[in-house]
Amino acid sequence: MIPKEWSERLLTAMINADRTGAAELIDKVLVSGIQPVQVIADILDPAIVQLGRLWEEETMSLAQNFVASKIAEDTLLRCIPVNSINPRTKGAVVIGNIEDDFHSLGRKTVGLFLSAAGWEVYDLGNDVPAEELLEKAIEVNACIIGASAMMQTTALNIRKLRQLIDDRGFAGRIKLAVGGAVFNWRPDLVAEVGGDGTAHNAVGADELFMRLQAEAQREVTP
């Protein structure tokens, strides 16, 4: 059982922009024998969720959020060394924060985790219009788009992406994965915005994308 205080200490380091302190904490945890996947699920992910709440409550500055994002990336790369990343064998996926959403923390974490699991990830960044996400998916022959949003107000913009996928005739063939802390707080929001599924955290992203890929492949198989 991982002590809750470790996630709280990482959160404090993120808020205080203490990259060195965060690195020392994660190194200490890993040396203690805790598995990297547990560090991601039980230490990093709860900290990211709490940061999302602080962002939504407007108690965190853009500068703090930027450094916190870097610390999250540092933590993930410590848990998934670059030389352990699998060859890109599972297929292409497109991810991005939906239009008007600038909270990159969760998306970047998911992108790194998917890359490590063998996906070819096209990360379009923050504030991505629905049209751009769909066009990129068509261009790279991706069967999954991952749309991220931190707050309910921006999550509702995903509905436009759902409508575009359906209107362009890609319903079923291009699956829509949605993510962000708001979907953990409000699970019913997944259906409301037209998502085909979500994962509670980055650790579950690979399993979700594998399932959605299998569903999409059944749609195109005669």
**pLDDT tens digits, residue range 25-52?**
999 999 999 988 889 888 988 888 788 7
pLDDT of residue 86: 63
Average pLDDT of the chain is 90
Q: Which helix (H) or strand (E) element contains residue 144?
A: strand 144-148
Domain residue ranges in the chain? 4-83, 86-220
pTM: 0.82
Tell me which fold the domain 4-83 belongs to.
1.10.1240
pLDDT band of 217, cuts 50, 70, 90: very high
Query: Between 57 and 110, where is the model more confident?
Result: 110
Average pLDDT over residues 21-25: 95
- Second-level CATH architecture of 86-220: 3-Layer(aba) Sandwich (3.40)
The reported pLDDT for the residue numbered 64 is 84
pLDDT of amino acid 181: 82
- The residues near 180 (Cβ < 8 Å, ≥ 6 apart) are 52, 101, 103, 106, 148, 149, 150, 151, 155
1 token code pair: 């059982």
Higher pLDDT among residues 185 and 31, named by residue:
31
In the predicted structure, residue 155 carries a pLDDT above the cut 60: yes
Which pair of tokens denotes residue 167? 């209107």
Answer whether residue 82 shows pLDDT above 70.
no
